[in-house]
Structure 1
Amino acid sequence: MANYYPITGIPVPVRQDPPPRREVASSAVSSEPVDQIQVSLFIRAVRKLQEKNPIQDKLSFYQIAGIHGLPKVEWDGAGGGYYCPHNTFTFPTWHRPYMLLYEQCLYNVMKNDIIPTIPGSDSVKEAWKQAAEMWRLPYWDWAIPQVDYGAGKEKLGVPKLVDDSEVWILKLGEKEKEPVPNPLYKFTNKLNGEEVNAGDKKKMGEFALDNMRSCSTYDAGRNTERRSCLLCRSRKVKCDRQQPCGGCIRAASTCIYPSGTGRAPKRPQQSANNSVVLTRLDRLESIIRQLESQQTQQEQPLDPSAAALPPQGDQRNGRLAIDSTSSVYVSNVLWASLGDEIEELRDMLHVSPSNNDDDEEGDWQEETYEKEEPVGTVGLNAAIMGFRSLAHSLRDYHPSISQSVALFEIFQTNVAPLVKIFHMPTLTKLFWDAVASLDALDCNMEALLFAIYYAAIISTTDQNQCPLGLPRHQALHTYRFAVEQAFARADLLNTQNMILLQAAALFLCALRNEDDSRTVWSLTALIVHIAQAMGLHRDGAAFGLRPLETELRRRLWWFIVGLDQRSSEYHGYEPIVSESSFDTRLPLNINDSDLTADLVEPPTERDGATEMTLSLIGWESIPIVRKVSFIPPHRRQARTTSSGSVTELSLPEREALAEQLQSRLETRYLAYCIPDDPFLFVSATVARLIIARVWLMVHYPRKQVDSSKEASTAPLQANLRDKIFLLALEILELSCSALCNPNIAHWAWRSDTYSQWHAVALVLSEICTRPPCRDCDRAWAAVEILYDRWRMKEHARKGTLWKPIGRLMAKARYVREMQSVDRDCSTAGSSSVMEASPDLPQVAHHSNVTTTLDPLADIFSLAPFMEMNPSLDDLFLVGDDFVQVDMRSGF
């Protein structure tokens, strides 16, 4: 069966233009060092390509040349006669990709076979490697007269480079030259080791016949004489057993076959004791009967008293299968027991699961086709992450060693303290191992590297160029593409790998800074399900995991819960993860240095501030924020009054929760936050901001839904209204502090993702209704800082709330201008009344407010998704003391 050989040409190095194609004669005599290196690489690559097996290697010089000329046989069994379309109008267009195939094969020989053998320092190898990347197959301009070096005259003819039997080229890694046989001068066809002259018709006929016979014999016998390659065996797919095989070509991997021929021998199976086997089978049948009984019970109405019974023993934990980097969780107790029984039966019969799978694979491969990855897992991954060029190697997207180190240092400073999902000593070792062996890089680790680079670039500012020497927007585009393609290659949709899940969580955290669309929200749902499938929602201590593994699983799970909370709040929907769906404990308040891989018992928590302080402040607040702001559907139904209206937590209940959170944060964290320490300053700022937001949710009135009437609002008392205004003002000033303090500017990228729309809208509506005062001036100054910062971000200006907030901002500015005019007139001794703009309603002074309209209704009527989330919908209800600002007029 024919294979597919993707013709991509030589990849263009990142940040460089495609190199020009050189004329062969001029480049051969050039004295430029790069030209001389490229000529040396070219000649050596052609020689090595000619040395490849002419029959079995379909990308040998003989096979590639045979496509275009004699002998005219079907190349690689593709059918339809020979490939070359001579005497047809499609020949010119066909010839271009054909030459690209030849060029691509020569480049692969340079990169894989020649450059690794260059002696000397890494800088010498790097110079030759860069020369190879910029090399392109030269062309011959037959209209240019060639120099006859013997007579010193010019004449038309072939270039000297292909006219001499011997050519002088640079030694590998050196500046001196040496003579080598010229592969461009002659290629020898051989029959049984003897040279075949093209003029010898008899021998040429024998050669063509022998070639066709050899190809036929090789194609017919290769599937029975050679075992599957290592990659295909590990992926459990059919191998076509060519060199290289189709699976390895599509995966851009080196194709390696195990030694020996034929199918691997099966292990002899020893007979087991029949009575023991029957006992095991009886237990399996018993488990199956329990499954049937469970299904019957699920179809019957649930007994409330039975549901309240606690689960028995440790069976409630399900089953977690875990190795060094992967894990699989089975929640159903009976299915877990069934799996245990099958494993015990395998152990009794002395049959290794892997060996058994290999035997089944051998039989299956002969009868079935290989999995079609482009329409299977690879296709689905590519569809989600962006199908651009999965056949294109990502090797060229890796930066140089110095650039990688610089990006990792930025990551350690700007990102790692805020994204505590790694154990930095372990990650640092993984990083150095990865960048030292990029050619043998695991696909999961490659995805993590690109996610680290992308997050590091996100954390830089427009003024501070990233270490790649590129504009920030261009670097972001490049590495977003790289990380998305790396996720598709690593099969993110079906992963059980901890490293890949960490990379995905890090990428989504950074992506929020660049993309406010629903992409992050949708992909958050994906990684939530992946995390649940890996059992991260169950605490690792219940499964006897080591402390390091347990802590990393806790950190990653709570980070994903935080992503879910933030994304759901931003888009106006309830979180995916409910509080009752997991039992994973909060991570310990410790430093990374307290954790080592050989620990058996968990370390003792620290009382003061640690590297985990900032993350724990946010994660500890999540349950209380949800209770204060969200009403899950089952609670709405459970707390419905007799009149059909939906009630919520009472004010004392909400106040008690807010006090509980405030006391917890102040006692455990704020007491140890030293203002002089930038990290602890950020931690204190975030803690106070969370406390203020929770109290705002507590005091702000909610809709009271009546079955016979539409939603109505309750009047706000003046003191409560002042309290809400000051809370919103505190939120804005704390946000400005987190964004504008120069001592923590390298962490502002994270604060940029938290747009305080709620507080801004409340403050602007108050500015429109309050008389001039110092608090209004403070509020206006904070709003202007935040508004100008949002305006600088293109993705923020595309948000659903941007235009309504912009209109309210313009109206508040107009009100302040009118108030300033009013003050000036009052100072002059004249009593004036504020004139109404033709596009603005008249705004009364605070002391004369009597209207009962909603100043924010029009804003959020433009964002209908707000209605789907009680926390967002209720937060913007306004009482009778507010003045209507018509958002549909003027601006």
Structure 2
Amino acid sequence: KIRRRNRTIASCLSCRQRKLKCDKQVPCGNCQRFQRDCLYIAPALDTAAQQKLAEIKDRLGDLEETLERDVARRAAANSGSERSTVVPKIEAEDDDYDGLSAEDEQDPEPSPLGMFDQVYDNDADDGLMDLGIQLGKLRMSDRVGGLVRPKMSDELNAKLRSASHKSQNLYCQRHGYTDSNASWQPGTASQDAFLSPGPDFIVPSSNLFFPDPVTAYFLPPRHVADRLVAQYLNAVHPVARLVHQPSFERQYNLFWSNLSNGTITPAPIQAILFAAMFSAAVSLSGDAAASFSDMSKHLLVDRLREMTEFMLSRANLLRTTKVDTMQAFIMYMLPLCRTEISRAHSALVGTAIRLAQCMGLHRDGTTFGLSPVDTHVRRLIWYQICYLDVRTCEATGPRPQIRKDEFDTKLPLNVNDTDLLLPSPPTEDLPYWTDMTLSKLKFECFELIRQLWVDMQRMDQKKLTLTSILNRIKKFRATTEAKYSLLVQGNTPKQILAKQMYRASSNRALVVILQRYAVGTNYPMPERLRKLLTEACMGTVEAGIAMETRQELLPWAWYRGAILQYHAAVLLVFEVYSRPEMPEAARIWSSLDWVFETPPQSSPLEKAEGIIMTLRDRLEKYHSVRKLRAT
């Protein structure tokens, strides 16, 4: 037994255990720097307390010796592998993600191949759209899952085993293939096709800031405008809510009344109405547009976009202080920022953030004594800007601009629009499904994603552990499910959409964190985390497919790209390729066949190899033009 002198201890317990010099402050410098609990032992302990403390220290010493022996045995068994100090902690996890102690300073190292920032050579081709490549329904650019992976083609190549030549692969034949020393070979997909923008891409115009006189003022006939507004309220308003519906309908009727009387409607109000019709046109199918308009969908979208931009410039967008103008600007941005996002979109979102902050939208309306409707609209605008900030960050980087501690605007209340017009409007969330439930659930999920971006940086700085972040996600899911489970338990189309949107977003939160440990690391991913990531990827992809294919959700299928991309499908391809006999293989392939449009006659191995080879070749071509530098 160790002899103890029981002298007065002036240092804090943490410094004493680590044999560090303590400055005896409260808290001391060491504890403050490493964010530890700074505890001092009371100077006057009675005999019983001293004996108990000595026993605790002895038991702690025994545990430390046992742990050291266990680590040494594992190190010897693994021939000196450095994994021995990390893997035991991860593999000991239970279903509560408690295997990694939040107090432990050692944490799994993420892949060095995934970065937050990117650098390009000066001779890069800026004439090429920065949208990346298209493969099936997957759009992939410099960023994969929000992180830059400049060596993604090498990572894909490393995954391939003794694959057959791509000219013999049915998937490669269907999507086109290349030889290293030859130009592109004929196939059903050409070089320009997979590098070119898809049908969802809408490029913004400089007319927002440097307006050109429009050749003709375009206003759809009243019957076309009525159909577009009805389409907006049915297909756009539920998923991209930005207006108070009774107020919006009054503005629309007043616009036509002013037109018949020869009165000019203010430019901000016209901008809102044209932005609503533009969004509605984007959400239409080609056949639906032709059913009530003599224009094609493409032409209708283009003309309404031009008119929206013209009205925003007339409303003095860059120097406005009017909430209506900002509302119209964000209504214009939401249909632009979906599946395919360029840096032009990201720059516009950055402009919107600064304009909104200059207008005070980051401060809650109750602070200024505004009416319930005005407060509600300001909250909608601000949280749609927060969503756009996260969405463009994932697509073009580098990080979200808005920080949680820089605004106090509250989430919109879970109320119906008509409730805000009552003599005593509600001041708390209503405990049932309302007009706002779907949008509020979306806002809360994207605020979690925003926090995870901050947490990843803190984790790289050794200020957070992986387990603490996983527990944050688990706590969010438990809280959200307890809050919304009764609200979405029905089977109306909007409630089904809310369930799928939550499933996609909550699983994507796990993918955002765990993807860094799946590919390109120095050691295999621990089995517990691998299963967790695989389940999250399956949930994300399946929810996205449901939002696009379920009959009752078709009115909102146009907005799927704004909620999630299919980047998680790439991880699933790696999984079924390396573990073809896994129990979930059939379930995974049912999703991958839809995402990557695989030929049904191919075997799973051939399909996986074809996807990896085609993706590798297209990324090599894209990176060779973009000149993305790798460290």
TM-score range, shorter-chain basis? 0.5 to 0.7
Cα distance in 2 for residues equivalent to 1:610 and 1:563: 24
Residue of structure 2 in register with 1:378 after alignment = none
Aligned: 1:430 with 2:251: yes
Aligned: 1:593 with 2:402: no
Of 816, 820, 837, 2:604 maps to: 816
Residue of structure 2 in register with 1:762 after alignment = 571
Q: Deviations over 1:190-214 (max 9, x none)?
A: xxxxxxxxxxxxxxxxxxxxxxxxx
- Letter aligned with residue 247 of structure 2: T
Residue of structure 2 in register with 1:389 after alignment = 212
Residue of structure 1 in register with 2:595 after alignment = 786
- Letter aligned with residue 615 of structure 1: S
Residue of structure 2 in register with 1:502 after alignment = 327
Cα distance in 1 for residues equivalent to 2:366 and 2:398: 32
Aligned: 1:488 with 2:313: yes
Q: Deviations over 1:442-480 (max 9, x none)?
A: 111111121111101111112322532321111111111
**Alpha-carbon contact 1:446-1:486 (below 8 Å) kept:** yes
Cα distance in 2 for residues equivalent to 1:658 and 1:859: 37
CA RMSD of aligned residues (A): 3.7
Of 628, 652, 663, 2:478 maps to: 663
SS at match of 1:607: coil
Of 486, 498, 502, 1:683 maps to: 498
- Letter aligned with residue 241 of structure 2: K
| Shift in Å, 1:621 | 2.4
Cα distance in 1 for residues equivalent to 2:562 and 2:441: 17
1:638-653 to structure 2, matched below 5 A, reads 646-647=461-462, 649-653=464-468
1:46-65 to structure 2, matched below 5 A, reads none
Q: What's the TM-score, normalizing by structure 1?
A: 0.44
| Shift in Å, 1:863 | 11
| Shift in Å, 1:752 | 3.1
- Letter aligned with residue 563 of structure 1: L
Q: Deviations over 1:270-300 (max 9, x none)?
A: xxxxxxxxxxxxxxxxxxxxxxxxxxxxxxx
| Shift in Å, 1:712 | 4.8
| Shift in Å, 1:391 | 6.2
Q: Deviations over 1:316-364 (max 9, x none)?
A: xxxxxxxxxxxxxxxxxxxxxxxxxxxxxxxxxxxxxxxxxxxxxxxxx
**Alpha-carbon contact 1:539-1:584 (below 8 Å) kept:** yes
Runs (5+) with no aligned partner, structure 1: 1-303, 305-380, 637-644, 705-710, 789-808, 821-835, 842-853, 874-891
Residue of structure 1 in register with 2:268 after alignment = 444
Q: Deviations over 1:12-40 (max 9, x none)?
A: xxxxxxxxxxxxxxxxxxxxxxxxxxxxx
Runs (5+) with no aligned partner, structure 2: 1-31, 33-203
1:335-484 to structure 2, matched below 5 A, reads 383=206, 385=208, 389-390=212-213, 392=215, 394=217, 397-438=218-259, 439=262, 440-466=264-290, 467-484=292-309
Q: What's the TM-score, normalizing by structure 2?
A: 0.60
Cα distance in 2 for residues equivalent to 1:459 and 1:382: 20
Aligned residues between the structures: 423
| Shift in Å, 1:726 | 2.3
| Shift in Å, 1:570 | 1.5
Cα distance in 2 for residues equivalent to 1:572 and 1:566: 9
- Letter aligned with residue 715 of structure 1: P
Q: Deviations over 1:656-699 (max 9, x none)?
A: 21112101221111332134210111011111211211223344
Q: Closer, same or farther in 2 for the Cα pair 1:617/1:867, shift >3 Å?
A: farther
Of 736, 740, 751, 2:545 maps to: 736
Cα distance in 1 for residues equivalent to 2:589 and 2:602: 12
Aligned: 1:614 with 2:422: no
SS at match of 1:716: coil
Cα distance in 2 for residues equivalent to 1:382 and 1:718: 49
**Alpha-carbon contact 1:548-1:599 (below 8 Å) kept:** no
**Alpha-carbon contact 1:414-1:747 (below 8 Å) kept:** yes
- Letter aligned with residue 511 of structure 2: L
Residue of structure 1 in register with 2:122 after alignment = none
Residue of structure 2 in register with 1:524 after alignment = 349
**Alpha-carbon contact 1:458-1:513 (below 8 Å) kept:** no
SS at match of 1:452: helix
Q: Closer, same or farther in 2 for the Cα pair 1:819/1:683, shift >3 Å?
A: closer
Residue of structure 1 in register with 2:365 after alignment = 540
| Shift in Å, 1:732 | 0.7
Cα distance in 1 for residues equivalent to 2:313 and 2:365: 28
SS at match of 2:334: helix
Q: Closer, same or farther in 2 for the Cα pair 1:753/1:542, shift >3 Å?
A: closer
Q: Deviations over 1:237-273 (max 9, x none)?
A: xxxxxxxxxxxxxxxxxxxxxxxxxxxxxxxxxxxxx
Aligned: 1:751 with 2:588: no
| Shift in Å, 1:413 | 0.7
Cα distance in 2 for residues equivalent to 1:577 and 1:549: 22
| Shift in Å, 1:651 | 2.2
**Alpha-carbon contact 1:673-1:680 (below 8 Å) kept:** yes
| Shift in Å, 1:717 | 2.4
**Alpha-carbon contact 1:685-1:734 (below 8 Å) kept:** yes
Q: Deviations over 1:394-420 (max 9, x none)?
A: 2xx111222211111111111111122
Cα distance in 2 for residues equivalent to 1:724 and 1:382: 40
- Letter aligned with residue 266 of structure 2: D
- Letter aligned with residue 589 of structure 1: N
**Alpha-carbon contact 2:501-2:563 (below 8 Å) kept:** no
Cα distance in 1 for residues equivalent to 2:438 and 2:275: 22
**Alpha-carbon contact 2:505-2:563 (below 8 Å) kept:** no
Q: Closer, same or farther in 2 for the Cα pair 1:857/1:785, shift >3 Å?
A: closer
**Alpha-carbon contact 2:569-2:592 (below 8 Å) kept:** yes
Cα distance in 1 for residues equivalent to 2:456 and 2:534: 28
**Alpha-carbon contact 1:590-1:610 (below 8 Å) kept:** yes
Q: Deviations over 1:843-881 (max 9, x none)?
A: xxxxxxxxxxx999979977989999xxxx9xxxxxxxx
SS at match of 1:436: helix
Q: Deviations over 1:798-848 (max 9, x none)?
A: xxxxxxxxxxx89x997725499xxxxxxxxxxxxxxx99x979xxxxxxx
SS at match of 2:604: helix
- Letter aligned with residue 695 of structure 1: L
Q: Closer, same or farther in 2 for the Cα pair 1:521/1:382, shift >3 Å?
A: closer
Cα distance in 1 for residues equivalent to 2:511 and 2:605: 29
Residue of structure 2 in register with 1:696 after alignment = 511
Cα distance in 2 for residues equivalent to 1:461 and 1:455: 12
| Shift in Å, 1:755 | 4.5
**Alpha-carbon contact 1:732-1:760 (below 8 Å) kept:** yes
**Alpha-carbon contact 1:768-1:815 (below 8 Å) kept:** no
**Alpha-carbon contact 2:414-2:429 (below 8 Å) kept:** yes
Residue of structure 1 in register with 2:383 after alignment = 558
| Shift in Å, 1:609 | 1.7
SS at match of 1:437: helix
SS at match of 1:752: helix
- Letter aligned with residue 226 of structure 2: V
Cα distance in 1 for residues equivalent to 2:601 and 2:620: 18
Residue of structure 2 in register with 1:80 after alignment = none
Residue of structure 2 in register with 1:771 after alignment = 580
